[in-house]
Structure formats: C-alpha cells, structure tokens
Chains A and B, each alone.
Chain A
C-alpha cells in the first residue's frame, strides 16, 4: 500500500527529537513508527503517523523543515521466514530499496514493513500479487 511518510530535519544537538515528539503530542498526532538516519553532522527522522497532513502542518508551524513523501507498506506474518519470503519477491522483481524500517501490529501477529524504492509505482504493482 502506498502511504505518506513525513521526514523531518534533525540538527545535531540535544533535544531535537523530543521537540518533534512534543509538537506532535500537543496536536494529538500519534506516531505509528519512526526511523532515524544520521550522518556525522545532522539527521533525518522519518515517521509514519496517523494523520500526516496535520503532522506535517504542526511540525512546519513549529519551525521544522518537513518533507512529505510516498512510501510503500507491506504486511508480513510475524514469524521466522516472513521477511525472507518478502525479500525474495523484491529481488525477483528487480526492485531497488532506498531504505526500510518496520513496526509490529498487535502481539506477534503481523509486522508492517515500510519501504522506499527507487520506483515506488513499479514496486507497488510487483508486490500486490
């Protein structure tokens, strides 16, 4: 499924991530999952939230640099081999992954993987089947 992700710039100093989470909490936006990418000097936090429009708006208003992008989510069974099967499918379709992160739904039932592919539309089609 194609969904909207929000990415926020993180300066390399303490309290940055807390500020982002506080701004979202105040607006009652719930974070489903997040991942951090960092270089030596700065970072990017990527998030899936329950209301990306509101999330992006409140963060922009709070002074953060925010970018919305499309990512693809894939649900896999939360058991050994669940991931391996998906990866084989991705490789088989010749898809290039930019980055990926995950979150679990419920207790030990399903995991949701978030992907950014070079070609999200092609990936969406390939992974549907």
Chain B
C-alpha cells in the first residue's frame, strides 16, 4: 500500500465520525450561503442543528439537475468569485447548461479522487498516461489529467479525436495507460488494426481507465481480449466532482466510493425514502468538502446499490454496483449527457420541421450510432434538393450548438413516426447493453 491509498483503508468508525463532522460543517455553510437550500430547509422545518447523526441527513431536502438549471449560472455557488478557481459545465435538461464553479480546494479533492482510483488500478509514477477524454468544459479530460499528474505519471494530453495520431503517439512514446470512453477505445482498436498496429506487439499499453458512459462486462471482456490490457472502471459526475468519485479495485464487482469526500445514499426514486445497503435504488451524493458548489443530497438519477460486507482488498470504502440504468430519460451518447427534451427544444428552433422526431441509437462494431429522424411537412417540402438539405443542416446546427454532438439527421415521410395516445416513445436504444 502506498501513501496515496492509505485513506482507502480507514477504519469504518473513524470514517463515519469524519463524515458526520464534515456534514455538520457543510450543512450550516450551505444553509447560510445558498438561498434555494435555505428556503427548502425552512419549508421542511429543518434546521442545520438538526443534523446530530448521519441518519439525520435524510431530513434534509434533495437537489436535482433541474435546480442547477433553474439556478444557472451562479445561484448554487456558495463561495465568492475571488475563491473560485475553475468552471466546468455539463448539459442541462433543456438548452441551458449547468455550471459548476469550483475552488482550488474542490479541484484538489477531485484530483485526489482520480489519483486514488489510478493508484487502486495499479498505475504508478512510472506509467505514461494518455488522456483521450475531451478537454474543456467537460470534466473527463482535465479530471483524468490532474489525477494522473498528481500521481507523478508522464501525461500525454491528446484529448479526443485525431485517432491515427493518437495511435502513433501511443506507440512512439510507450504509453502504458489510456483514459477514454470504452466506445472510443473500441474505435481506437479498429483504427489501429487498419494501421497494422497490434496493441500487444507494438505498444506497451497495459491499463485502460474507462468511464463517462455506461458499459457492461461484455464490453470489458471484449476490450481485454482485443488488446490484452486491463480495463478499469471509473465513475463520477460533474455535479459532484467529475470522474474519480468511485472506481473498481482488482477484487470488487463494483466501484469503491471515496466516502471520505462523497457521501452516498440510495433512495427509492418514487417514495424518496432512504434504502438500506444492499437494496437497489437511486444513487444520491452529498459533497463533504466542496466549497464552490456544494451539493446536498444530489439525486444522480443513476440506479445502483451499495453493497454490504467488506471487500477482499480490505478497503473500507463502500462498493456501489456499476450503474446500468437511470431513473429518468437521460441518454449518454459518446460520453455526453443528452435529454430527449433538449432535442425537442432544438427542433422547435427550426420551424419548418414537424415536432415529431425519433432518436435512434445503435452500435456498430466500434462506435455508437446516433441518428435523429425528423418528419418532413408540407412546409418543409420543396422541389429543390438544396432547400431540403438546408433544412437538414439547420436542424444539425441547432443540435450541435445545444447538445454538442453531430447526429445523423434523417428526413422521413410525414406520419411515418409512431404516434401514441399516452407517453410517446421518442427513443429507440438498440445499443449493446
């Protein structure tokens, strides 16, 4: 065990005492500085001093993604701008993004989370780490970058895209670990094969740190068989930190949560009651150390379970099941959070198309395919091909602007998409599960 991992093995009693102590500081801090939280506490008749034991956290109100949207940009920011060190943004449920300002301390906690994950995977300062997550407002790239740098690794910040160059650098610089989405790695593998490069023979790659989108054991097995690397799982979300909230150890069938920084609860998404460990429900996190944008009982909408019993590795940090479903309609496409309501908002901006649409997702050998079918109307219809193509381009541009992705836009005949009386099905997800 190295110094970085020491905290992972903290005695449970000490961990619980630490969590309570941190919560008893966080709740008054949030109450004092964030109007929305104060108002909701007052409505519920709960005061910060009511937090006496960890169980009392259940008395406090939840925060949701829509709160982040409604309070955009800075309504949930607790620290003054002079203390803010970094902004990250993620997609909201409609056009407006969510914005998470962080202090230097917040970035340090997040960095520590990534660093502890990497140490747990067996990555050391001797490794050469390629970060192929997108850099920028998205937390993937910078999160992995800071974590690997803190561990002392040699970091190659390639970012996303330009795949052939990535493979050349991986080979030439002796990259031993790569951080990216599992679907991007599968794409890399296909391009490498086309270039005549065999990961086993031609590269030193041993570790893959995969996250930002749901993936399965089947994909893990495929990646490992294809490339000879060990595929590690990293979990996180911008609202709470970024990647590095949890990761898997060599023993557990799930992910250890860094509970000394991120306090997990599982709730029933319908009754909102807290469920005991071992039961499946919606994952809720409270940030124990965050000063910039603290989150109290943030509903992730990710469905998971907190496992009971001690992991073989000896870590005391509880293990969550890998997230395999959500309690809302959010889709994760190429690592980007997409809500059908966003697509709808984009289409509304192009008056020539009907409000009828269908999102179709499927998997090719290596990548997710993202297609949006839009119905043509008498208004869209033209005798000119270029006029029709222009409509399609306007739809594509509107989606690119708001969602940040470039799906294939297909024009389809009027009335050809399914209608229904009740809740209309807008998404067909045929991706590998």
**A88 → B minimal CB distance (Å):** 25
B413 to A7, Cβ gap below 8 A? no
B385 to A65, Cβ gap below 8 A? no
Assembled-state Cα–Cα distance A109/B379 (Å): 39
- Using known A-B contacts A7-B383, A65-B380, determine if residue A41 contacts B411 with beta carbons closer than 8 Å: yes
B383 to A44, Cβ gap below 8 A? yes
- A111 in contact (CB, < 8 A): no
- Using known A-B contacts A9-B376, A60-B378, A65-B378, determine if residue A37 contacts B385 with beta carbons closer than 8 Å: yes
Residues of A near B410 (CB, < 8 A) are: 41-42
- B414 in contact (CB, < 8 A): yes
Interface size of A as a range: 20 to 34
5 interchain residue pairs of minimum CB distance: A7-B383, A67-B381, A65-B381, A65-B376, A11-B413
Which of A16, A67, A98 is close to B378, meaning CB atoms less than 8 Å apart? A67
| Interface residue count on the B side (C-beta < 8 Å) | 18
Q: List 26 A-B contacts (CB under 8 A).
A: A5-B383, A7-B383, A9-B376, A9-B381, A9-B411, A9-B413, A11-B412, A11-B413, A37-B385, A42-B410, A42-B412, A44-B383, A44-B385, A44-B388, A46-B383, A63-B413, A64-B413, A65-B376, A65-B378, A65-B380, A65-B414, A67-B381, A67-B382, A67-B383, A98-B384, A116-B384
- B389 in contact (CB, < 8 A): yes
Count A-B pairs with CB separation below 8 Å.
57
Assembled-state Cα–Cα distance A37/B386 (Å): 11
Assembled-state Cα–Cα distance A17/B412 (Å): 14
Assembled-state Cα–Cα distance A69/B416 (Å): 24
**B412 → A minimal CB distance (Å):** 5
- Using known A-B contacts A7-B383, A39-B385, determine if residue A66 contacts B378 with beta carbons closer than 8 Å: yes
**A32 → B minimal CB distance (Å):** 16
- Using known A-B contacts A42-B411, A65-B376, determine if residue A11 contacts B416 with beta carbons closer than 8 Å: yes
Residues of B near A39 (CB, < 8 A) are: 385, 388-389
A65 to B377, Cβ gap below 8 A? yes
**A123 → B minimal CB distance (Å):** 15
**A13 → B minimal CB distance (Å):** 9
